[in-house]
Amino acid sequence: MRAAPLLALLFPAAVALAVTSVSVAILTAANRPGVVSLIGTGVLAAAIAGHLILIPLWGPLGAATVTAVTGTVGALVALALVHRTWRVHAYATALRAVLLAVPAYAIASAIATPTTWGLVVKLTLLSAGVAGAFLALGELDRDETTRLWTALQSKRLTNAKVG
C-alpha cells in the first residue's frame, strides 16, 4: 500500500494531537486533572474499539482513519472544555486555521519539487501565504501586529547593515 493515503489522514491527526496537547496543558493549569483523565480515557476507548473494528476490514487505512477521527474528536472535546473552563473562544481560530491549512496542504501535495531549492521556495511561498492570510483575517491583535512589524523592520535594518 502506498503511504500517501495514510499520510493524508495522519497529518490532520498530528495537528489534532497538538491541539489536544495544548488544551490538556491549559486544563491542567486550571487544576482540572479529572477532566484531562476523562478526555484521555474516552479517546483511548474509542481508538481501541475503532481499531478492533476497522483494522481487520481496511488494514492500515483503517488504523489511520481511526487515529484521525479519534484525534479530531478528542481535540474538539478538549477545545470545548477549555472554552467552558476559561471562556476562551478558540473555535473560530481553529476553523480559520483549518480553512487555511487544507488548501496549503493540497497545493504542497500537488506541486512536485524534485530539487531542494524548489522545496525551499515552495514552502517559503506557502508559509508566507498562510501567514499573510492570518494577518488579513485579523488573527493578530493590534499589539501583536505592532510587535511583528517592529521585529521585521529590525531584521531588515540588521540585514542592510551586514550586507
pLDDT digit string, tens, across residues 98-132 = 888 888 888 888 888 889 999 899 999 999 998 88
- What whole-number distance in Å separates Cα of residue 117 and Cα of residue 107? 17
Burial of 147 (0-12, 13-18, 19+ CB in 10 A): exposed
- Residue where a domain stops, chosen among 88, 117, 150: 88
If asked whether residues 8 and 81 sit together in one domain, one would say yes
Asked if the model's pLDDT at residue 30 lies above 90, the reply is yes
**In this predicted model, what pLDDT tens digit does every residue of 45-99 receive, in sequence order?**
999 999 999 999 999 999 999 999 999 999 999 999 999 998 887 888 888 888 8
User: Are 3 and 60 within 8 A, CB to CB?
Assistant: no
Residues 97, 55, single domain; the answer is no
User: Quick one: 78 and 149 in the same domain?
Assistant: no
Where a domain ends, among 56, 88, 120?
88
Residues 34 and 53 in one domain: yes
For residue 162, is pLDDT > 60?
A: no
Average pLDDT, the chain: 88
- Are 14 and 80 part of one and the same domain? yes
pLDDT at 13: 92
Q: Predicted confidence band at 41 (pLDDT cuts at 50, 70, 90)?
A: very high
Q: Are residues 31 and 70 in the same domain?
A: yes
Domain boundary residue, one of 64, 88, 112: 88
Cell of residue 107, nine digits: 497545493
Does residue 45 share a domain with residue 20? Answer: yes
Query: Which amino acid appears at position 112 of this protein?
Result: A
Which of 104, 156, 154, 157 minimizes the C-alpha distance to 132?
A: 104
HEC profile for 117-135?
Answer: HHHHHHHHHHHHHHHHHHH
pTM of the model: 0.71
Task: Give me the pLDDT at residue 14, please.
Answer: 92
Asked if pLDDT for residue 27 goes beyond 90, the answer is yes
Note down the domain range covering 4: 1-88
